[in-house]
Amino acid sequence: MIPPPPHIFQTLDRTAKFPYSRGEYLRRYAWLLVQATLFRLPIPRAYTWRRFLLKQFGAKMGTAAAVHSTTKILHPWLFELGDWSNVSANVTVYNLGPVSIGSHSVISQDAYLCAGTHDHTDPTLPLQRPPITIGHGVWIAAGAFIGPGVTVGNNSVVGAKAVIIKDVPEAVIVGGNPAKVIKPRDTKGANA
């Protein structure tokens, strides 16, 4: 074992052992059971079924909102998905805090939405649950990471594997780690 240094800032023995209410733990366990079984049934394009299950646990689901069977959502009661939006295969919605996705938005495969962190300035690392807001007409490309407290503006594109730790303005394309604006998104296409 590595001997500890003379001073350690973090005191994990003082971290809250149960940061949620008893009721929230019960809801989480019930959802885990449903998500591991009924939600994952191998029925192709069973979006209506998964919308129904998510709504039973408090999610706000828009018209034709689609969630893939391999998507992982931690707290459906803190999840909102707009009309005609799609959350693709193997996306993780780690929503300790609220996650809201607007209409006509796509979250591509393997993306990670992380609405939870810890206060690194406090030695007990208390849990923080900042929201994530993803606007309307947004495309989050494959494998992107959206960090706690981030807002992605309407009509923006987040490039594949991008790491978003700051707000993204409207109608831009961002990419990289950490992500930077690459260029404006042309939104005067055929539907404008």
7 tagged catalytic: no
Out of 75, 104, 118, 136, which one is annotated catalytic? 118
CA-based end-to-end distance of the chain: 63
For residue 179, give the nearest of 154, 162, 167 by alpha carbon: 162
Question: How distant is the alpha carbon of residue 31 from its chain centre?
Answer: 17
C-alpha R_g of the chain: 18
Whether omega for the bond prior to residue 98 falls within 30 degrees of 0, making it cis, is no
121 within 8 A of 103, measured Cβ to Cβ: no
Alpha-carbon gap, residue 3 to 166, rounded angstroms = 37
Strand partners, 72: 92
Active site residues: 118
